């Protein structure tokens, strides 16, 4: 109760979002994010959530807020031999997926497409067919309440399975965010990490923001020391 009382959700613009893709500070921050994903165990959290949902037919997966695609590449390398063929679309406002990442995805046997667009513009355009899976990692927390509801509503109309892994809002995670310098993080990441935790989630906040229409099974839970997840599956 202490953490919940003293950490109301507060969404503020993060510094990385205002930087051009080629800015050296932005490039360093994206490297920092890769280290943070490792430290938070994001890939393991993601694979544990999705493994039980993946069947045998080919998959179309959309990652929103995909950044440089490094997490998708690690996912492909870990699951290429266990999952069926995957067509992966990496969506972000900035074109920061490099050729080496695309070659890595292709080497793992995945078909990779990069889409550069605002997430709302993308999701508001009807797809030829629904995505099998939509995933997001350290992305959904960027949206205040009204935009969050709009985002989750658009996702629910675009897929039958959604998973996100976000910062957990609490005192332990806040303390961790102040310690990212120990991972070698630069000034931008040190600032943004604190803002991310304050914009993060706890309890059933994502469930409350999901559309109220029937036909969905929602699991919202904490994972690891610092992560908060939502797995939404159409029944």
pLDDT tens-digit map of 143-187: 999 999 999 999 999 999 999 999 999 999 999 999 999 889 999
pLDDT confidence of 2, banded at 50, 70, 90?
very low
pLDDT confidence of 129, banded at 50, 70, 90?
confident
pLDDT confidence of 4, banded at 50, 70, 90?
very low
Q: Is residue 15, in this structure, part of any structural domain at all? A: no
Q: What is the pLDDT of residues 50-108, one digit of tens each?
A: 999 998 888 999 999 999 999 999 999 999 999 999 999 999 999 999 999 999 999 99
Q: Is residue 18, in this structure, part of any structural domain at all? A: no
Q: Is residue 198, in this structure, part of any structural domain at all? A: yes
Please check whether residue 222 is in contact with residue 200, taking contact to mean a CB–CB distance below 8 angstroms.
no
Domain count, the chain: 1
Q: What pLDDT is stored for residue 18 in this prediction?
A: 87
Residue 77 structure tokens? 């390398």
Q: Is residue 146, in this structure, part of any structural domain at all? A: yes
Residue 128 has pLDDT above 60, yes or no: yes
Q: What is the pLDDT of residues 181-233, one digit of tens each?
A: 988 999 999 999 999 999 999 999 999 999 998 899 999 999 999 999 999 99
Q: Is residue 143, in this structure, part of any structural domain at all? A: yes
Q: Is residue 134, in this structure, part of any structural domain at all? A: yes
Q: What pLDDT is stored for residue 3 in this prediction?
A: 42
Q: What is the pLDDT of residues 10-66, one digit of tens each?
A: 999 998 988 888 899 999 999 999 999 999 999 999 999 999 999 888 899 999 999
Range of the domain at 215: 2-7+23-234
Q: Is residue 221, in this structure, part of any structural domain at all? A: yes
Q: What pLDDT is stored for residue 147 in this prediction?
A: 97
Q: What pLDDT is stored for residue 124 in this prediction?
A: 85
Whether the model clears a pTM of 0.85, i.e. scores above it, the answer is yes
Q: Is residue 64, in this structure, part of any structural domain at all? A: yes
Question: CATH code at 160?
Answer: 3.40.50.150
């Amino acid at each position: 109760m202490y953490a919940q009382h003293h950490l109301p959700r507060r969404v503020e613009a993060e510094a990385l979002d205002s930087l051009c893709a080629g800015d050296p500070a932005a490039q360093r921050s994206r490297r920092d994010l890769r280290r943070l994903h490792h430290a938070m165990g994001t890939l393991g959290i993601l694979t544990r959530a999705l493994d039980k949902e993946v069947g045998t037919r080919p998959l179309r997966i959309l990652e929103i807020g995909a950044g440089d695609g490094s997490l998708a590449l690690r996912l492909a390398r870990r699951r290429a031999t266990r999952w069926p063929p995957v067509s992966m679309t990496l969506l972000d406002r900035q074109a920061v997926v490099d050729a080496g990442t695309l070659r890595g995805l292709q080497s793992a046997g995945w078909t990779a497409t990069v889409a550069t667009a605002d997430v709302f513009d993308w999701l508001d355009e009807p797809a030829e067919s629904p995505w099998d899976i939509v995933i997001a990692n350290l992305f959904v927390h960027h949206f205040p309440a009204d935009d969050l509801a709009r985002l989750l509503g658009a996702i629910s109309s675009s897929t039958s399975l959604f998973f996100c892994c976000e910062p957990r809002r609490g005192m332990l995670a806040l303390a961790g965010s102040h310690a990212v310098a120990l991972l070698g993080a630069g000034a931008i990441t040190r600032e943004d990490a604190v803002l991310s935790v304050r914009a993060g989630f706890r309890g059933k906040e994502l469930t409350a923001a999901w559309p109220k229409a029937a036909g969905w099974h929602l699991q919202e839970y904490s994972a690891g020391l610092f992560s908060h997840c939502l797995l939404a599956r159409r029944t």
